[in-house]
Each structure stands twice: as C-alpha cells, then as structure tokens.
A and B are shown apart, each in its own frame.
Chain A
Amino acid sequence: MRANDAIAGLVLVILSIVMIALTASFPDFPGQKYGPSLFPRILGAGLIVCGGILMWNGLAARRGGAPWIEIAPWAKEPRRLATFVLVLVLLLLYIFAAETVGFIPLALLFLVTLFVWLGVRPWIAAATAIAGTFTIYWFFATLLRVPLPRGWLNSIL
C-alpha cells in the first residue's frame, strides 16, 4: 500500500506542528539564549517545509491522474495480505502476552503458526519450532543470562 505523497506530507506537517507545540512547555534557563527547545524547533520547521513540498508534489501527481492510495500488487492477493496481517497479529500478541504467558509457550505458538501457514509440513513445523524455541531459549536465557519472561512455566524453570 502506498499513499499519495500529499497524504504523507500532511501527516508529516501535523506531526511537526504537534512537536513544535510540545516544545512550548520546555523551560528556558536564565541567562541562556538557546534552550532545549531550539533544536527540535529547527527540525520541526524543516519537516514542515519538506511536508509542504511533498503535499505540493502529491497534489500535482493527483491532478496528473495518480490515485490517493495505490495498492501494491502483492496486497491484492488475499493469501499474501493475510500473511502480512498474521505476522503483525503475532507480533502484537507477543508484546501483550509475553509477560503473562512466558517466552517458551508463546514462541512455540508463534513458530508453529507461521510455519504451518507458510506451508511447512506439520511434523517438520512442530520439530523445527521445538528445536528453534529451545535453542533460542538456551542461547539467550542460559548462556547470555537474559531474563526472558517465564510466565506460565515459572514454577518449572
């Protein structure tokens, strides 16, 4: 999916205005002309100029017949689009559930789901998921002592 440059430009301009507005609350230090708000304001001004030109170009392209939003060829194939969404859902699931469920069960679910969806034969998917999960766990949690969330398996590990 690709939005017209005008939309990208508009988003940039809005974000920059918000950024500059936020700098209004930054303190000034007595006797000091240049405070923490100076640099972000310069950047914000630059981004507004860039966003403005992008909008200009985008609108010109729009008049030339370019669509507001162009769907990439792969996104028109339902299966590929579903893969994309599935990866995003799994990532979100990992972020929200990691602390409670723990790394090992989530990683197994994550890998098996993706493998099977991408067409790996089920028994290979299961075996690779188990091997992958435990190798990663061993490497990071045991060898490098990263406190990967234990979650449900807290009492066992």
Chain B
Amino acid sequence: MDALLTASRLILDPYVLWVITASAAFGMFVGAMPGLTATMATALLVPVTFFMDPVPALGAIVTATAMAIFAGDIPAALLRIPGTPASAAYTDESYAMSKKGQLDLNLGVNLVFSVLGGFVGVAILIVCAPALAEVAINFSSFEYFWLALLGLTCAVFMTSDVPLKGITSLLFGLAINCIGIDPAAGYPRFTFGSVELLQGISFIPAMIGMFALSELLRGMVHADAQGAVIAQKIGNIFSGVFGVFKRYWFNFLRGSAIGVLIGALPGAGADIAAWISFAVSKRFSKEPEKFGTGHIEGIVDATSANNSALGGAWIPALVFGIPGDSITAIVIGVLYMKGMNPGPTVFLQNPQFIYAVFIIFILANILMLPLGWIAIKGGKQLLRVPRNVLLPVILMFCLVGSYAMTNSIYGVIMMVVMGLIGWLMEEHGFPIAPAILGLVLGEMLEQNFMTSMIKADGAFIMFFERPIAATLGVMTLLIWGTMLWRGIRGRPATLGEAAPAP
C-alpha cells in the first residue's frame, strides 16, 4: 500500500502529468501518420526521455504507444492506409464501412473498444505480473537461460512466416550483441581496438536506425504518395457504440484476451494480435459472409486486441526482463541505461515503479477517450500534413537523437549502419524483430548460459534438473522440433517473399 501511495505521488506531480499529456499528443500524431509506427514513436521518444527520471520516462513511452496504436485506426478509416501496422488487419474492413456511410460508428467503435481493450490489458497486467514475479524470484541461471531461449524462440515462431529467416535474423542479433566486453569473463570481443565498441553496440541508436531510419528510407522514396481523404463529414462518433457493445461484448472479451496473450508472447505485439483476433473473429462468426463488406464485428475483436496487447507485452518485460514486443524491447534498453535491471527483484526493491507503470497505463487509457475524440475530429487536417516536409524533419531528429545518446558522432554512425542493415534485411524478407530481441536478450542469454555451463560442468542433465527449468526447456525444444519438422516437410524454395502474417 505504501508503494502504491508513493507511486501515486510520483505521478501526480505536475511535471509528470505534463509529460504524459505531451507524449499522448505526440503518440496520437505519430500513430495517425501513415508510415510512422508506434515502435518508431518509442524510438524517437527515447533520446528525450533519456534525460528524465524513470517515472516520467516510462509514462511518456506507455502513453505515446497506447495513443499511437489507437490513432493508427484513423487513417485506416479515412484513407484506407493503416497508420501503424497494428491497424493493417482491419484497414479494408474499416474503409469499407466508411464508404457505406458508417464512418462515425466505425471511428467511435475503434476509439471506445481501443480504450476498453487497453483496460483489459492493464487489468491482466496488474493481476499477473506480481504473481509471476513471486514465482520468478526463485529462478536460477538455468530457468533464466531457458526463459530467454524460449522468448527468443517465440520471437522467431511468431514473427516470421519463413522460420529460417527468423532464426537467421535472431542469430545475427545475438552475434552483434557479442561485440564489446563479454558478460562472463570481461574479455573485450570484436572491438578491433575501438574504445567505443568496448561498451558494445549502443542500443538506442541501433533501435532508431532499425525502426526509424529504415522506415524513413522507404517513406522518403514514396514521399509523393499522400492519399486522398474520404469526403464524409465526421458527426457524433459515440452514437450507436453502446448497441455494438451489447451485441458484440463477447467479441470484445475474446479479442482482448487474445491480445494480451499474443502481447505477452515475446516478439509478437499489437500487429500480430490484430491479425490473429480478426481471423478468429471471422472463423467463429455467425455471419462470416459479411466480412469484407464493411462489417463491424471483426473490427471490435481486432481493435480491442491491439490495444490490450500493449499491456500484455509488459508482463514478461517487467517480470523477467524479456520484452513482449518491440516497444518493450526498447523500454528494457532504457531501464538498463537507467540502472534498473528489469526482473522480479524490481517488484521487491522498487515496487513504486511497478505501480507507477500500472497507474500510467490506466491514466493513458482514460486520457485516450478525449484525446482520441479530438484526433478524430481533427483527423482530416492531421492527414493533410505534407509528408515531404514531415519526413526530412524526422530524419533530422533521428540524427540528433542518436548523437545525444553517445554525445559523439559514434551514435550517428551506429544509427546509420544499423538502419541500412535493417532496411536490407526487410528488403530480403528477414524480419527485424528477432534481431532486436537478440540484441536485447543476448547478454542475459549468454550470461545465464555461461553460468549454467560452468555450474553444470558439462553435465547437460543439470539444465533439466529443476522442475521449472525442465518445463521451460522441454517447451523450448518442442517448439524447435515443430519448426524443424515443418521445415523438413518441405515448403517450396522461395526467393524469400515474406507473406503477411496469418
């Protein structure tokens, strides 16, 4: 209770509230602009939050991402272009509704169910995280090794249609994480005499490169594609939403549950949650033939799912230090920089931070209703911001942001190099998320692997001697087995076209 009070006091500070409101507006804007994603919003925020205390820094990220995931629905309805990949699953459905003249209802449903989905996400986070932390406090290096490996395995399994490319991407991320002082013996590896490489790949510039620069490179090339906003007037968006709730409350619950689950699985975030819940909705719908004609049912599922996934992703991030999606991957990097190693000990030593995250999540979802309404009302003006002005300014911001992370040009070099690598990877159908997870989890994986190897001294059975370690180990091996089996059963050789997620 004491910690809860401390947490409330930390948040009810005017400065923190101001940061939250400002990042909410920022998140709305970034989310609503096609081509700028929620992950990018986080990567762009980090250079700024780096200079803040942990609570406002976390507040900024939580709020901005929640808003961005909702705001992505606005251009989907108005332009038929998803604002973030998390809205891609139902963009066509959404636009079809707009064309049928149900623009108001569509936007209202998107807003209200995003808020409600967000609440489900945070509720499950609040219930599950402390309980899991109590279990996790007894974990040894064996459990952490398997947990990290299981997390990375999930990332490959979930994010990639071509598992081989996912694994390659993961191994690549782990390999570049080896640059710098090794975590077990303290020997500098692959530094080629560079002092800057001693501390390893600087994480934030690498993120800005992979998530922002590679996206900007793509966007800049198509800067002339602005899209035409639908001509309808936006009226009262809330009328009829309650009727939708009464009819589809089960879809809302199911979508939110799927969202939390997918969000909590490492590597998969809001976008995959939306795809899967939309597919589930269609599969179990009483009127599947209406899907594709501008039917609200699937949208209820998916728009709840992508917002609840955000809360879900924080569960493994806070409890084990294993990111549930690419946003929390960045968050974990930020926490490490602030000297707060995420993991069950934070729940004991600094519970006020955990409670602060919970409260910010709730606040952010409350704030989403009025701000979302404003964003919808101003949506048409917002979408008229010319891309050829916006993109260069963001690029400049990336340059300065990565410079600020190292206070030297080294950060910029890192950003550009990783951005180009990220761009090349995506061009060739290698998913980026596994590489990022490898980069974030590499140290944890190696440290626990080395500790376990030294403890076991060659006796591999020790990796399976503790019950939880054995369970996690068997699960990991089973997933690897499934992937191998699927690989061997032969899919035709392709040039590597990564099909959209299921």
Binding site for B on A (CB under 8 A): 1-5, 8, 12, 16, 19, 22-23, 26-27, 29, 32-36, 38-40, 43-44, 46-47, 50-51, 53-54, 56-58, 60-61, 64, 66, 70, 72, 74, 80, 83-84, 87-88, 91-92, 94-95, 98-99, 103, 107, 110-111, 114-115, 118-120, 124, 128, 132-133, 136, 140, 144, 146-149
Contact = CB atoms under 8 A, between A and B. Distances in A.
B450 interface: yes
B495 A61 contact: yes
A111 B222 contact: no
Contact of A83 (B48, B223, B428): B223
Given A8-B428, A83-B220, A147-B407, 9 more contacts: A5-B495, A34-B454, A36-B182, A47-B172, A58-B493, A61-B493, A80-B222, A87-B220, A98-B412
A83 B495 contact: no
Nearest to B413: A95
Interface of B: 47-48, 51, 164-165, 167-168, 171-172, 174-175, 178, 182, 184-185, 187, 189-190, 216-217, 220-224, 386, 388-389, 391-393, 395-397, 399-400, 403-404, 407, 409, 412-413, 416, 420, 427-428, 446, 449-450, 453-454, 457-458, 493-496
Contact of A36 (B184, B221, B458): B184
Given A19-B175, A29-B185, A43-B178, A119 B48 contact: no
A123 B247 CA distance: 54
A58 B168 CA distance: 15
Main secondary structure of the interface of B (DSSP, over half): helix
Which 10 A-B pairs rank lowest in CB-CB distance, beginning with the nearest? A118-B388, A60-B493, A114-B392, A36-B182, A57-B493, A146-B404, A50-B168, A36-B187, A39-B446, A40-B178
A107 B401 CA distance: 13
23 contacts: A12-B168, A33-B457, A34-B454, A35-B185, A36-B189, A43-B178, A54-B165, A58-B493, A60-B493, A61-B495, A84-B220, A87-B395, A91-B399, A94-B399, A98-B409, A110-B392, A111-B392, A114-B392, A115-B388, A115-B392, A120-B386, A133-B396, A148-B403
B479 to A, nearest CB: 16
Contacts of B404: 140, 144, 146
B169 to A, nearest CB: 9
B221 A39 contact: no
Given A54-B164, A146-B400, A74 B388 contact: no
B400 A148 contact: yes
Contact of A27 (B51, B187, B494): B187
A107 B432 CA distance: 29
A147 B411 CA distance: 13
Main secondary structure of the interface of A (DSSP, over half): helix
Contact of A33 (B167, B458, B496): B458
Contacts, number: 163
A40 B188 CA distance: 12
Given A43-B175, A60-B493, A74 B222 contact: yes
Chain B CB count within 10 A is highest, among A44, A74, A140, for A140
Contacts of A91: 399, 416
Contact of B409 (A29, A74, A95, A118): A95
B403 A136 contact: no
A51 B168 contact: yes
A34 B395 CA distance: 44
A144 to B, nearest CB: 5
A50 B454 CA distance: 28
A111 B493 contact: no
Nearest to B172: A47
